[in-house]
Structure 1
Amino acid sequence: MRLKSVAAATVLTAATVLPTALTFALAPSAVANNSGGRLVASVSPTTVAPGGRVGLNVEGCGTRTGTARSSAFGTVNLAPGNLEATNLFGSATVHRNASPGTHTVTFQCDGLGGRTTTVSLHVTPGAARGGLGGSMGQVSPGEIAIGGALVAGALGAGVWYLRRRTEAGT
């Protein structure tokens, strides 16, 4: 009976490792709507260290060009994310000498009216990792491979054990 509970615990642990790892890999993003509710902008991650990169996205411009501007990284030209130009995207590297604190990111659509909206970007004084609050450093490809092999091994062992038990019972 003890082997059955150990195998079940192994399978359950392996089944929870992958979704948990994927949850930590996803960075949070800031989203803002303008007063008309049709222009939606986002910066991802919302917290970054000097020298880090952020993704920029704005939806609802209706134009094929636009910009994102901030004291944290300067001005970035945005490009269409799809053929209909329903969203514009780009990326920026935060200046290495950017001051810690909250910086405003202003998205502007080109064309008539030049609609704008803003979101906040937080620059940390140290090496922050988006989504983990600085609690984890870089993960090397070797570490990812080892983790994947351990998960696959645990799942394989659980399947082997359950099949062996089923065959022995018949």
Structure 2
Amino acid sequence: MPATTHRHRRYRPLHRVLAVAGTAVVIAAAVPATLAHAGSSGSVTPNSVAPGGRVNLNVTGCVTGAVEATSGAFGSVWLERSNARATNSAGGATVGNNPGSYSVTFKCASSGEQVTVPLTVTTGAARGGLGGSVGSMSPGQIAIGGALVASALGAGAWFLRRRTGHAS
């Protein structure tokens, strides 16, 4: 009986390797099929832009043929694929001067499949960067901020002076 157990232990790592390899083959075969049927997706960057601004357009999933992007914000543009095997197409457009909410529709010329994403043309320049979410500060808010900074500096000076006093 111990000889049989020994033989099974000897082949057990081989069984594990074969099981892992078989699982990997099944998963690898399923992934392209899933991606091929996942459909198209599109994006507009930035999705909120000032009048006259430029947007980048990108669509993935149109395997063959050209892609047309249309919107009331910029009209119609054709997107280019990076190479013959690529499944994504990209391009850009300059939006008009009329603020509002628009849709951008990407249409695969070969399949007719369409994807629609939102685009907002703001009334003025898009706010961003440091403090982009703050409209304006009142004199009271500025005074409170200054008082907090002064308090922190004073407390730091007091602490450093106190430590120096104990060292001597």
**TM-score relative to the length of structure 2:** 0.53
Question: Match of 2:125?
Answer: 127
Distance change (3 Å), C-alpha of 1:106 and 1:133: farther
Question: Match of 1:149?
Answer: none
Give secondary structure in 2 for the equivalent of 1:56.
Answer: strand
Alignment gaps of 5+ in structure 2: 1-36, 134-168
Question: Match of 1:58?
Answer: 59
Percent identity (aligned): 51
Distance change (3 Å), C-alpha of 1:133 and 1:40: farther
**TM-score relative to the length of structure 1:** 0.52
Q: Greater Rg, structure 1 or structure 2?
A: 2
Give secondary structure in 1 for the equivalent of 2:64.
Answer: coil
Alignment gaps of 5+ in structure 1: 1-35, 137-170
* Deviation digits for residues 18-70 of structure 1 (CA, Å, limit 9, x no counterpart): xxxxxxxxxxxxxxxxxx64201000001001100000000001123111000
Structural mapping, 1:1-150, within 5 Å: 37-96=38-97, 98=98, 100-111=99-110, 113-129=111-127, 132=129, 135=132
- Runs of 4+ more than 6 Å apart: none
Give secondary structure in 1 for the equivalent of 2:123.
Answer: coil
| 8 Å contact kept, 1:127–1:134 | no
Give secondary structure in 2 for the equivalent of 1:67.
Answer: strand
Distance of 1:127 and 1:116 partners within structure 2: 30
Question: Match of 2:160?
Answer: none
Q: Which has the higher contact order (CA 8 A, sep 6+)?
A: 1
Aligned length: 97
Distance of 2:77 and 2:45 partners within structure 1: 15
Question: Match of 2:165?
Answer: none
* Deviation digits for residues 133-170 of structure 1 (CA, Å, limit 9, x no counterpart): 9939xxxxxxxxxxxxxxxxxxxxxxxxxxxxxxxxxx
